[in-house]
């Protein structure tokens, strides 16, 4: 048994959506990352297909949202169909927007999982730092020993990796990867969690559903809308429009009696059964199909691991939680897991923050998964129960109650080392919640007049952002307040907190968003006031914006949107994942200092 | 002297913006295309840098506008600076939008020519049909002989091509390319036009300008705005903000006395001279620079060839016209030349249209270039004359008068075989002009509720588009009128005009844009009415749109925008380049038939 040893800062096991997102994020940092997957190719067809608004925002922060928009279809309408008692046919009960417009600047999009994986793979390729090592599987896992915890081993997790198609343990191509940290994204039957005997909460149910992606031939008028359909026979079905004229159908296969214990297999049903069921449910409309891209049967069940972390190993995606696909959430929550995690690991590896922040992965992501379990339980119950559409437990009521959750924008990370606790601060920005991602607003560039979504400036490159909402620069005293802020921030604050080898400008980007007419002052005036920021903070021309009506009339609402008083102003700190970590008054450099002192590694500590 | 022979439908000489655009367009068609260039690499720095709104629209029709938006800066503000008589310093006279918002959904963008070329090269690579053959120059040109014009030679233009760095005529790598058609995009000193002794109109002037792309260090407040500056010393300067913190400066180098006859060379000035002049003009503001990307001196002169076509050879871009760079037009007019030309050549080569349409290249593009000469003369005169800003001949007045021309959206192709002459038809769509590109409007998908720019559906793939504006489907008689139209169109019309080997659905895409509430009827009702369109016309779910307010409230203005009466409706025909060829009433299938009969090759002709 031969093997060679190698070393990496971060090892990601599994190149599905969660693992690929982890690798994309890790590509932004000066750390070494490996990504292995035992399969020989990406997902070809089927599986997940919903990309919620928050995932689109995250994709946009990597510059790849456009690639999804180009291929996917938008999920705009939600139609509800029920039984017409007189005829026994189905009839449309209502059609409405699938989610409120104000939730996000992105709609929910629909595209097969393989296409999403390909976009992430192409992104990795373009960055050139990490590539997917296919056909390689983890075989042995050695955890940090007692002695190692004293710091003897900087790469304490040892993972033996062999060719996926080789004979166990006999391979000459075995490699032992020594990693600082490992992220297990190895799916619902996670090899990693099996090695570590990870405890899970498990909710088993007995029902089985069928799913198929077909190009239908039908005169059903809502075939290009997302539909929840309940027929008079009690059949329940979901219809989801997809790319390339595909349509996904979810069908409830009544009851679980006589099912095989390991879940359904394809002897229990075939594509023609699904088509028959779907046509029966659609009565009076006819249904046949020209092409089937994918189909499957699956049992409804839920599982959620108790601990998202085991020492230096973290679980993300299906390795942490499984549930039904009905809400279109799985792929999103999975990618959002690793999006939450990787910037923290990378900041710890690069030495700028305290490893204590890694505790927030569990405290921020497990409650989100708990809510997912609750939502999924209610939604499946609503579908299977054949609840009347207007009942409190009906599909529409559940979807409405969870609209923000489904869009992925309602998640609020609880107070922690990374999220300030003081809710009184939020009076500064009444519509901003600590722990929630900052919603975007259109602003206009002070110097160039270009209209831009503020979120475009919060892209995923590892920077923390300090947003200085100065208010109206013509208000009395505002220049003095800003000058004091600039002086204290660039003096005491940055000197105090600067990590030994890091320039403060490598950690922070600072933006000024004022609410004065753009034409009413020149940059030179501002530059004078902020002279103390100097070159190190990069206070240059691309970072001043006005909340002022642009030529196209689209801007001028940001202060109102965020609930910031134009005479008072305020400071907002966004974490590298766009979640708000701290809010305070312009004078409150001390509060800002206290916040960052909790986790940024100080000069005087070294 | 050895050589081998090869054959191609289309040979493009020169891979600057005009030649690359020609190749991108040709990539859409099932024809063979070669693209040669004698240089060993693309433009590295400097040269053209303005991308006007129409070019952005054309880029978007190839799906590449986003790539420009990502790298370029928007030209939003136009600032005018003049002398302050009291101090002798410059002062800002006004700042205003650089062009009216309603001209296009795209602003003017600023990006160096090399980056534009790279985007087109990458596009060619992604299509995989044409690639740039570099380091290859044309050496001999043999035109169709008399006998060939009888059709003896299907590839009548013979171009001998040799390595650009080889010894003349001695190369063993010589190749004789036999082409059906040639497009000469070989620049201001066109080898092709020299071979053919092409006549030009020439306007010589004596003045010289300097140009530089630098990263400036200055407190001049409008350094990120496009500025026209005239100092009290009579100095004239243009400032153009660019990507990567670059700024372009154009400086008038007084007079042309003593200049070398072949235009200025760099002994007549150096970068430091330009910086000194610029700083003097900017007084009281200081100017230095950190980095210079490119600089040059050039004489102002104008040249326009008399004939854009010589037999099977066409001229495009600088090979057809040269002028000053001041209006940011050169690269745009050049690419718009080949965008006008290639779909016509490709349609002739593929046999679906009469070669007579090729005459419209001259009749459509030369007037545009004549207008360019006039505009350029006036603009340079305004800059050099130091005209008062509010005079009729001042820079601002010229820019205002030519705003639509500069945006590239004002061009109206005159009546011809491809543009209907009957202006009375335009009563159907009061705001649409025959021969002008169709402006875009937002509409909403009937079946999926997605909001889309109509222009996105008119992408560059060679299709003609028939836009059926049905009006309100609830108006009396409208279904009957539509049914008659559908029947006549799919019966008499398509049978009559169908080229022998082409399905009508390979030539046309048909869109229905109605003005009824989207929820007020089902697709099945429409499908019934348009049953005659059948499968051949592909009357499927992606092609029905509503001019109805969408959830975000952005739509519902298309009929008003186009000036179409909702009770009357109308038909609009867009050519493959989005210019309107024909407009008529819904009943007027006969008029439609007459229009297409002029150039589509009919069944009964064969």
pLDDT digits (tens, 9 = 90+) for B479-512: 888 888 887 877 766 666 655 555 556 688 888 8
Is B221 within 8 Å of A101 when comparing Cβ atoms? no
Nearest one of B457, B445, B453, B467 to B518, comparing CA atoms? B445
Length of chain B: 606
**Is the same domain home to A208 and A311?**
no
Q: For residue B253, what pLDDT band results from cuts at 50, 70 and 90?
A: confident
CATH number of the structural domain spanning residue A380: 3.50.50.60
Which of A15-24, A319-328, A457-466 is predicted most confidently?
Answer: A15-24
Q: For residue B531, what pLDDT band results from cuts at 50, 70 and 90?
A: very low
Classify residue A413 by burial, with Cβ atoms within 10 Å: 0-12, 13-18, 19+: buried
Length of chain A: 606
Q: Residue A1: what pLDDT? A: 54
B448 touching chain A per CB within 8 A: yes
Range with the lowest mean pLDDT among A24-38, A325-339, A370-384, A422-436?
A: A422-436
d(CA A72, CA A110): 5
**Is the same domain home to A259 and A318?**
no
Q: Is residue A389 part of a domain?
A: yes
Q: Is the peptide bond before A529 cis (omega within 30 degrees of 0)?
A: no
Q: Is residue A420 part of a domain?
A: no
Is B97 within 8 Å of A524 when comparing Cβ atoms? no
Beta strands (DSSP E) in A269-351 are: 287-305, 309-310, 313-315, 321-322
CB A374 within 8 A of CB A53: no
List the 502-531 stretch of B: residues with Cβ below 8 A of A: 519, 522-524, 527
> Which chain B residue is nearest to residue A102, measuring alpha carbons?
B552
Q: Residue B605: what pLDDT? A: 46
Is A66 within 8 Å of B63 when comparing Cβ atoms? no
B197 touching chain A per CB within 8 A: no
Q: Is the pLDDT reported for residue A268 higher than 80? A: no
Pick among B63, B77, B290, B445 to test the A interface (most A CBs inside 10 A)? B77
**Is the same domain home to A318 and A285?**
no
Pick among B76, B105, B287 to test the A interface (most A CBs inside 10 A)? B76
Q: Is residue A467 part of a domain?
A: yes
Nearest one of A399, A252, A384, A394 to A327, comparing CA atoms? A399
**Is the same domain home to B371 and B437?**
no
Range(s) of the domain holding residue A155: 4-74+106-201+302-407
Q: For residue B536, what pLDDT band results from cuts at 50, 70 and 90?
A: very low
| Domain end point (choices B359, B376, B407) | B407
d(CA B311, CA B268): 42
List the 449-478 stretch of A: residues with Cβ below 8 A of B: 449-450
CB A572 within 8 A of CB A432: yes
Q: Is residue B99 part of a domain?
A: no
DSSP assignment letter at A492: I
Question: Mean pLDDT across the stretch B42-66?
Answer: 96
Average pLDDT value for chain A: 87
Please, which residues have CB within 8 angstroms of residue A92's CB and are 6 or more apart in sequence? Answer: A79, A80, A81, A221, A222
Q: What percent of chain A has pLDDT over 70?
A: 87
Q: For residue B521, what pLDDT band results from cuts at 50, 70 and 90?
A: confident
Q: Is residue B80 part of a domain?
A: no
Q: Is the pLDDT reported for residue B533 higher than 90? A: no
**Is the same domain home to A296 and A306?**
no
Question: Mean pLDDT across the stretch B261-277?
Answer: 75
| β B313-315/B109-110 pair status | unpaired
Give chain B positions within 8 Å (CB) of A241: 448
> Which chain B residue is nearest to residue A518, measuring alpha carbons?
B95
Q: Is residue B190 part of a domain?
A: yes
pLDDT digits (tens, 9 = 90+) for A208-233: 889 999 999 988 989 999 999 999 88
Paired tokens of B116: 């534009």
Residue entry with tokens 């007037």? B367
Q: For residue A387, what pLDDT band results from cuts at 50, 70 and 90?
A: low
The alpha-helical segments, DSSP class H, found in A27-159 are: 53-61, 65-71, 113-127
Strand-by-strand arrangement of the B464-471 sheet: B451-453, B442-445, B544-546, B508-514, B464-471, B570-574, B580-584
CA angle A289, A294, A300 (to 5 degrees): 110
d(CA B343, CA B32): 14
CATH number of the structural domain spanning residue B226: 3.30.9.10
Per the DSSP assignment, residues forming a β-bridge with A600 are A353
pLDDT digits (tens, 9 = 90+) for B84-114: 989 999 999 999 999 998 999 999 999 999 9
CATH number of the structural domain spanning residue B521: 3.40.30.20
**Is the same domain home to A266 and A250?**
yes
Is B76 within 8 Å of A522 when comparing Cβ atoms? no
Nearest one of B303, B95, B289 to B204, comparing CA atoms? B303
B224 touching chain A per CB within 8 A: yes
d(CA B511, CA B546): 11
| Cβ-nearest to B225 among A245, A447, A527 | A447
Nearest one of B281, B275, B279, B238 to B91, comparing CA atoms? B281
pLDDT digits (tens, 9 = 90+) for A23-61: 999 999 999 999 999 999 999 999 999 999 999 999 999
Beta strands (DSSP E) in B475-531 are: 508-514
Q: Is the pLDDT reported for residue B423 higher than 70? A: no
d(CA B192, CA B313): 9
The minimum CA-CA distance between A310 and chain B, rounded to whole Å, is 41
pLDDT digits (tens, 9 = 90+) for A507-531: 878 888 999 998 887 766 665 555 4
Give chain B positions within 8 Å (CB) of A448: 73-74, 76-77, 224-225, 241
The number of folded domains in chain B is 3
pLDDT digits (tens, 9 = 90+) for B210-234: 999 999 998 898 999 999 999 988 8
**Is the same domain home to B360 and B273?**
no
Q: Residue A539: what pLDDT? A: 44
Is A448 within 8 Å of B223 when comparing Cβ atoms? no
CB atoms within 10 A of CB B100: 12
DSSP assignment letter at A33: E
**Is the same domain home to A445 and A536?**
yes
Give chain A positions within 8 Å (CB) of B63: 70
Is A448 within 8 Å of B70 when comparing Cβ atoms? no
| Cβ-nearest to A450 among B76, B449, B450 | B76
**Is the same domain home to B518 and B560?**
yes
**Is the same domain home to A581 and A473?**
yes
**B434 half-sphere exposure, CB direction, 13 A CA radius:** 21
CB A581 within 8 A of CB A595: yes
A244 touching chain B per CB within 8 A: no
Q: For residue A258, what pLDDT band results from cuts at 50, 70 and 90?
A: very low
pLDDT digits (tens, 9 = 90+) for A435-450: 999 999 999 988 888 8
| Cβ-nearest to A95 among B77, B221, B519 | B519
d(CA B15, CA B116): 12
d(CA B241, CA B214): 10
| Domain end point (choices B238, B271, B300) | B300
Four-residue CA torsion sign, A435, A403, A321, A182? negative
Longest CA pairwise span in chain B (Å): 79
Q: Residue A532: what pLDDT? A: 43
Q: Residue A152: what pLDDT? A: 65
**Is the same domain home to A187 and A336?**
yes
Q: Is residue A385 part of a domain?
A: yes
CB A568 within 8 A of CB A462: no
Paired tokens of A385: 């129960």
The minimum CA-CA distance between B77 and chain A, rounded to whole Å, is 6
- pTM for the predicted model, two decimal places: 0.89
| Domain end point (choices B245, B270, B300) | B300
CB B218 within 8 A of CB B286: yes
Classify residue A167 by burial, with Cβ atoms within 10 Å: 0-12, 13-18, 19+: exposed
DSSP assignment letter at A413: P
Q: Is residue A413 part of a domain?
A: no
Question: Mean pLDDT across the stretch A269-279?
Answer: 91
**B403 half-sphere exposure, CB direction, 13 A CA radius:** 15
B168 touching chain A per CB within 8 A: no
Classify residue B449 by burial, with Cβ atoms within 10 Å: 0-12, 13-18, 19+: buried
CA angle B87, B91, B93 (to 5 degrees): 135
CB A511 within 8 A of CB A466: yes
Pick among B69, B99, B449, B528 to test the A interface (most A CBs inside 10 A)? B449
**Is the same domain home to A500 and A363?**
no
């Amino acid at each position: 048994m031969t093997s060679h040893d190698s070393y990496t800062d971060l090892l990601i096991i599994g190149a599905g959506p969660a693992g690929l997102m982890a690798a994309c994020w890790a590509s932004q940092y000066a750390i070494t990352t490996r990504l292995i997957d035992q399969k020989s190719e990406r997902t070809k067809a089927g599986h997940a297909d919903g990309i919620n608004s928050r995932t689109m925002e995250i994709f946009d922060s990597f510059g790849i949202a456009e690639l999804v928009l180009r291929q996917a279809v938008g999920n705009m309408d939600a139609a509800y169909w029920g039984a017409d008692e007189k005829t026994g046919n189905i009839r449309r009960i209502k059609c409405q927007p699938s989610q409120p417009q104000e939730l996000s600047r992105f709609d929910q999009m629909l595209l097969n999982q393989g296409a999403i994986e390909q976009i992430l793979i192409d992104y990795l390729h373009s960055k050139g730092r990490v590539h997917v090592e296919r056909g390689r599987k983890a075989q042995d896992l050695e955890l940090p020993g007692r002695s190692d915890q004293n710091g003897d081993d900087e790469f304490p997790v040892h993972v033996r990796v062999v060719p996926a198609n080789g004979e166990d343990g006999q391979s000459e191509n075995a490699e032992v990867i020594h990693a600082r940290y490992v992220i297990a994204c190895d799916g619902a039957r996670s090899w990693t969690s099996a090695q570590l005997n990870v405890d899970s909460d498990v909710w088993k149910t007995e029902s089985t559903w069928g799913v198929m992606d077909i190009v239908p031939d039908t005169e059903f008028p809502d075939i290009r809308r997302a539909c929840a359909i309940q027929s008079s026979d009690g059949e329940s079905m979901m219809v989801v429009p997809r790319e390339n004229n595909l349509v996904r159908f979810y069908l409830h296969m009544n009851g679980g009696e006589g099912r095989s214990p390991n879940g359904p297999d394809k002897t229990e049903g075939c594509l023609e059964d699904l088509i028959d069921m779907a046509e029966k449910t659609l009565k009076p409309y006819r249904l046949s199909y020209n092409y089937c891209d994918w189909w499957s049967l699956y049992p409804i069940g839920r599982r959620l691991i108790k601990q998202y972390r085991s020492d230096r190993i973290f679980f993300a995606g299906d390795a942490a939680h499984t549930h039904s696909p009905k809400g279109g959430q799985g792929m999103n929550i999975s990618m959002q897991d690793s999006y939450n995690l990787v910037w923290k690991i990378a900041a710890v590896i690069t030495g700028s923050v305290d490893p204590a922040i890694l505790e927030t992965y569990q405290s921020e992501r497990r409650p989100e998964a708990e809510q997912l379990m609750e939502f999924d339980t209610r939604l499946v119950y609503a579908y299977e129960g054949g609840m009347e559409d207007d009942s409190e437990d009906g599909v529409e009521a559940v979807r409405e109650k969870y609209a923000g959750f489904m869009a992925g924008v309602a998640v609020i990370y609880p107070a922690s080392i990374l999220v300030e606790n003081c809710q009184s601060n939020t009076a500064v920005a009444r519509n901003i919640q600590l722990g929630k991602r900052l919603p975007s607003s259109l602003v206009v560039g002070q110097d160039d007049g270009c209209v831009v979504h503020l979120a475009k400036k919060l892209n995923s490159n590892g920077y923390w952002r300090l947003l200085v909402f100065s208010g109206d620069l013509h208000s009395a005293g505002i220049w003095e307040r800003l000058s004091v802020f600039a002086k204290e921030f660039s003096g005491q604050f940055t000197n105090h907190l600067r990590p030994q080898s890091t320039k403060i400008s490598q950690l922070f980007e600072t933006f000024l968003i004022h609410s004065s007419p753009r034409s009413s002052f020149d940059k030179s005036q501002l530059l004078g006031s902020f002279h103390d920021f100097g070159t190190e903070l990069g206070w240059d021309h691309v970072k001043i914006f006005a909340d002022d009506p642009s030529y196209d009339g689209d801007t001028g609402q940001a202060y109102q949107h965020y609930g910031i008083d134009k005479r008072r102003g305020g400071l907002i700190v966004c974490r590298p994942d766009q979640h708000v970590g701290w809010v305070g008054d312009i004078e409150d450099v001390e509060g800002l200092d206290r916040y960052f002192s909790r986790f940024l590694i100080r000069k005087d500590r070294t």
